[in-house]
Amino acid sequence: MSAREEILARIRAARAGETPAGDGARGGRPLSGDDPWARERGYRTAGEVHGPALLDLLAERLADYRAVVRRAEPADLGAEICAALRRRGARRIAVPPGLELPALPDGVEPVAADGLAPAALDALDGVVTGAAVAIAETGTIVLDGSPGQGSRGVTLVPDYHLCIVRAEQVVHLVPEAVARLAGRGTRPLTWISGPSATSDIELNRVEGVHGPRTLEVVIVSGGGH
């Protein structure tokens, strides 16, 4: 018997003669839609905070985990990005394909970074990306690798990550984000809540270990749309 057959047979034998609860078919059902399971969920699945209050909550929770947070109106986004890069003193910045950026300040060179080897990424001063979804309650940004977000390595190796989050990408709760990402789940996803951190020494939280040590987020308000 192969290990596979043996383990599966043991699992079946372990419950032989029992009538297990559940239908065993949940894995086969569609990702969304009229789902009996969904009606049993007793926890919050619909956001309770909206509009400007939602963006305020996101800003507060991001800052709580030591991300640097900026707010911008759509018309001011370009200026805000330039100001952030100048403050950082960044000269070579990774810009993923598909990200529309305004003119960068003098002396800042955009680099098409996808496909670069890790050592080459390490030589960059930072990366600018968009996002797929942001969760206000937990202060989390999710990248799914679609245009404007870069590959996983590009947002990992450079020490500075500037992330642009637009109002329509912000949800209140984790279940809302999981629902938005359904179907995109086969892309590689990275959920980011603040800069890298560790609590391994006496459970003291220290920000900045292997991932980018500075996470700066520009939250772009809805602009009245």
Partner 1 sequence: MTYLGMPPPVRGTGHLRGRQPFPVAARRALADAQLRHNLGNATQTIRAKRARVVAELPDWEALRDAGQAIKAEAIAHLDSYLEQLETNVTLRGGTVHWARDAGEACQIVTGLVSATGASEVVKVKSLVTDEIALNEALAAARITAVETDLAELIVQLGHDWPSHILVPAIHRNRAEIREIFLREMDGVDPGLTDEPAALAEAARLYLRRRFLSARVGISGANFAIAETGTLCVVESEGNGRMCLTLPQTLITVMGIEKVLPTWQDLEVFLQLLPRSATGERMNPYTSMWTGVTPGDGPQEFHLVLLDNGRTTALADPVGRQALHCIRCSACLNVCPVYERTGGHAYGSVYPGPIGAVLSPQLTGIEANASLPYASSLCGACFEVCPVKIDIPSILVHLRGQHVEAARERRRPPSPEAITMAAASWAMSRPDRFAAAQRASGLGRVLGRGGRVRRLPPPLAAWTRARDAPAPPERTFRQWWRDEHGDPP
- Provide the minimum distance between the beta carbon of 222 and partner 1 in the complex, in angstroms, as a whole number: 24
| Binding track over 185-224 against partner 1, x by CB under 8 A | xxxxxxxxxxxxxxxxxxxx-x-xxxxx------------
| Contact yes or no for 45/176 (Cβ under 8 A) | yes
| Binding track over 90-129 against partner 1, x by CB under 8 A | ------------------------xx--xx--x-------
What are the Cα distances from residue 141, in Å, to 14, 74, 91, 181? 42, 19, 25, 12
Helix (H, G, I), strand (E, B) or coil at 81: helix
Query: What's the longest Cα–Cα distance across the chain?
Result: 74
By CB under 8 A, residue 135 contacts partner 1 = yes
Other residues' Cβ atoms within 10 Å of the Cβ of residue 18: 7
Strand order, beta sheet including 140-143? 140-143, 133-135, 170-171
- The residues in 6-65 that bind partner 1, with binding defined as CB under 8 A, are 6-16, 18, 20-22, 24, 26-29, 31, 35, 37-38, 40-45, 61, 64-65
Of the candidate spans 50-58, 87-95, 104-112, 178-186, the one that interacts with partner 1 by CB under 8 A turns out to be 178-186
- Provide the minimum distance between the beta carbon of 100 and partner 1 in the complex, in angstroms, as a whole number: 21
